[in-house]
Chain A
């Protein structure tokens, strides 16, 4: 059942939230052992929250727009009194004394949190293989990865272990796993959703967003979690989106641009596989058939995105992760002096990918290298903003594949970091520019695994994006091939 379907049924009293939750908890019980989508299942808390929703409905009060909807939360979002680990040994068992803003907003909307999902450690990765608690498996083919870093959240929705879930997207960590798992994943404009309580990776890049099985559900969640938060200085003070009313408007006259440099064709970055290219072309045709005007658009600096990102994100992360030092919370490895204790703790507590990025980031910021690396990457960002702005004068939205390939096999890309990083080539530019983007499933690749199509727009263009996403969804071929459900 869709999230909106659950909410409608619970709100009307037709169905009890506690019964919905029981059903989901049972499915989690059955499948999580194999999938490892959840680090923690919040069975007791979920039952209590569901009961509260039912009591609210019985009393004739408004239980909220997402009443009774089971939601999974990526385990880098603070949940008060509930372990929040970032899938890292350094935070194993840590219980935050406060809730992330998005967690509070979902609860206020009546949603029922069923658990904390697995991720690449500290959100650094594109396959969820960097988790300290074991990888998550793709529900559609358990030999394959679900994508990352929000692999657990994507898998949970794909396997119907939660009706919706939240992930975080710094370089594509919502959209790419959504593509790999055949679900809808959305990264809002930077600043639309509060980052308060999201354990930071790349502060100028991170955004929280929803996973769902439908575009309408995605819009419903964004309406709940988005909006100004006085606890986040980078939170936009803009009026709330009205998204659901635009979903049926179609794309007649809308101008869609095929982003040349990420199309797989001439002038594009390498590595976008032909079957994915074919799906993207089909998606463009579908929009054209629905009345959109499709043209090619060039944004040359998009090819620099990967390099600039792998300087900016690790730099910010290297600083954000300094606080994990064994002093105040989390793991401590004892030593004769505080300095040695900090080093021993961080050495034991962080996995290799996290260490790699901390060192890369430290290097990019260090004396003598700042100008050449981090400083330059910030200039690339300026360039990209200018070029994308020009592109958006010609078109309303851009269309690209979400990821260069379909979901690869576990262990296939873990030997060489660069082969993993290229997963994000299509999604990264919009993290650097802060622009919004959605991934909508659109058919399957040659291997029968889902392909996601990405729609990108300028800042605060979420209504336009959802409008077009709804059309893509409606015209998508029925997902055949490997079914995990």
Chain B
């Protein structure tokens, strides 16, 4: 794991990143009409006069979309405000009305924050409600927009409810950017407002990237990067773009403010539309909708029903253990924190529980493992009844549901018993006398030799005991005998 506190670029240049994330809300129906909010392979079958923008059609707001949006805002620590919808006017074939109904100067959620696992806080400016556009497919010329011979438009996605989350430009490293997106996703899943899958488009990330001299607090020209389809791409895109800006400044030029397209295959960003003909969106309040005025009671209800969020879940475990942040992140992300807490509650060593879970429970199905049985397993290993290798095996079998998930039964089935210490010592002595040269190298050699020979002897012992010897006991014996 990289050091999150190091400037990403160099001693001279600092990275400044803000992220705009669009989240598809998991409602039953679209934002303004009763068409199904679900993926369909048949184009233009989840549409009606409203989402097709047919003349005479009108929008009616989805109450669950509003509730999900407020829930999302509160989960990000935002204040929920009375809000109005607005029209953002521009011509594009995927916009059925040639304007998007969104929120402009009076958004629902304002002034929140997202805390990363390492404690860094990224400010959130707003999280507003808007409708999605349809999908265009470019035919001919390799499917890229500039080479196409024609395009096709499908409005199934038009009108799907979105929340756009805009962060302040508080992100200073690529790792932070990636952690922001991961954590945001965890929160979205925890509050069940979206399935937030970047690969499927239910979470879309655009990055606003600029750089500045270290020590300065100015905000220089930024570029908006689009077409980022995974967290990994996000990292690559930010790194590339930041480097591009630095190179420009260092050669006496400057980046232009523009939207750029990230090309994952080519590993570079390319200029999008020129800003000379930049659209004036002519925002004004949507006259076909009335304002939203959430009550204090509604917000209180949302707060009361809020599940424990990932940060709090990590903190809960962090207070009881001393494992590294990434262990907590993984355990909580996989939803295995309640399991860990339960095992700790019945006396299992917290660090051991968490480490074992992180390392060996990265499986889809683990419902046969419960807090008690996990605690028993940890105990068995602690007292030396099982070696590390054996414990790993037992846990895998428990997850698979073998022998009712009972660690003792599984260990007995495998015939796992820790070797008696006397028998082990006899074996070690035998090996020492069988391999005197190796023993000399172990006791008298340099660090590299010692390491190699330790491995040799341990391997021999494991071979002879069919893996049943306890690794630590072996190491301890070898150490004792070498003095």
Contact = CB atoms under 8 A, between A and B. Distances in A.
Interface of A: 77-78, 84, 86, 91, 94, 96-98, 100, 195-200, 203-204, 230-234, 315-316, 318-319, 322-325, 327-329, 338-339, 342, 362, 365-367, 370, 374
B93 A338 contact: yes
Nearest to B98: A322
B54 A195 contact: no
Contact of A231 (B60, B93, B284): B60
A347 to B, nearest CB: 13
A273 to B, nearest CB: 34
Contacts, number: 98
Interface in B101-154: 151, 153
Given A204-B287, A319-B99, A196 B282 contact: no
A59 to B, nearest CB: 33
Contact of A196 (B58, B87, B287): B58
Contacts of A233: 58-61, 288-290
27 contacts: A84-B55, A91-B55, A96-B55, A98-B49, A197-B57, A199-B55, A231-B58, A232-B60, A233-B58, A233-B289, A233-B290, A316-B284, A316-B287, A318-B89, A319-B87, A319-B89, A319-B282, A319-B284, A322-B99, A325-B91, A325-B93, A327-B93, A328-B96, A329-B55, A366-B280, A367-B280, A370-B284
B56 A232 contact: no
A143 to B, nearest CB: 33
Interface of B: 49, 52-61, 87, 89, 91, 93, 96-99, 151, 153, 280, 282-284, 287-290
A125 to B, nearest CB: 18
A408 B151 CA distance: 50
* A197, A323, A370 pick with most chain B CB within 10 angstroms: A323
Contacts of A366: 280, 282
Contact of B58 (A232, A315, A328, A342): A232
Contact of A362 (B52, B59, B282, B287): B282
A230 B60 CA distance: 8
Nearest to A343: B91
Contacts of A204: 287
B98 to A, nearest CB: 4
A20 to B, nearest CB: 29
A322 B288 contact: no
A100 B56 contact: yes
A199 B55 CA distance: 5
Counting chain B CB atoms within 10 Å of each CB, which of A339, A365, A366 scores highest? A365
A274 B453 CA distance: 118
A368 to B, nearest CB: 9
B288 A203 contact: yes
Contacts of B290: 233-234
- Interface of B, secondary structure class, is loop
B58 A195 contact: yes
B91 A342 contact: yes
A45 B312 CA distance: 66
Given A78-B56, A197-B56, A342-B91, A323 B282 contact: no
A94 B57 CA distance: 15
A220 to B, nearest CB: 25
Given A322-B89, A338-B151, A374 B284 contact: yes
A230 B63 CA distance: 13
B54 A203 contact: no
Given A338-B151, A366-B282, A323 B287 contact: no
A439 B93 CA distance: 43
Nearest to A325: B98
Contacts of A197: 56-57
B89 to A, nearest CB: 5
Given A203-B287, A319-B89, A338-B93, A96 B58 contact: no
3 A-B pairs with least C-beta separation: A322-B98, A203-B287, A365-B282
A339 B91 contact: yes
Contacts of B58: 195-196, 231-234
Contacts of A86: 55
A455 to B, nearest CB: 26
Contacts of B56: 77-78, 84, 96, 98, 100, 196-200
Contacts of B53: 323, 328
Nearest to B57: A196
A314 B330 CA distance: 56
A329 B91 contact: no
Contacts of A77: 56
A318 B99 CA distance: 11
B96 A323 contact: yes
Nearest to A327: B93
Contacts of A96: 49, 54-56
Nearest to B88: A319
Nearest to A365: B282
Nearest to B136: A338
Contacts of B282: 318-319, 362, 365-367, 370
A78 B55 CA distance: 8
A129 to B, nearest CB: 22
Contact of B91 (A100, A315, A322, A365): A322
A78 B96 CA distance: 18
Given A86-B55, A96-B55, A319-B89, 12 more contacts: A84-B56, A97-B54, A98-B49, A196-B56, A200-B288, A233-B289, A316-B284, A319-B99, A322-B91, A342-B91, A366-B282, A367-B282
Contacts of A316: 284, 287
B284 A323 contact: no
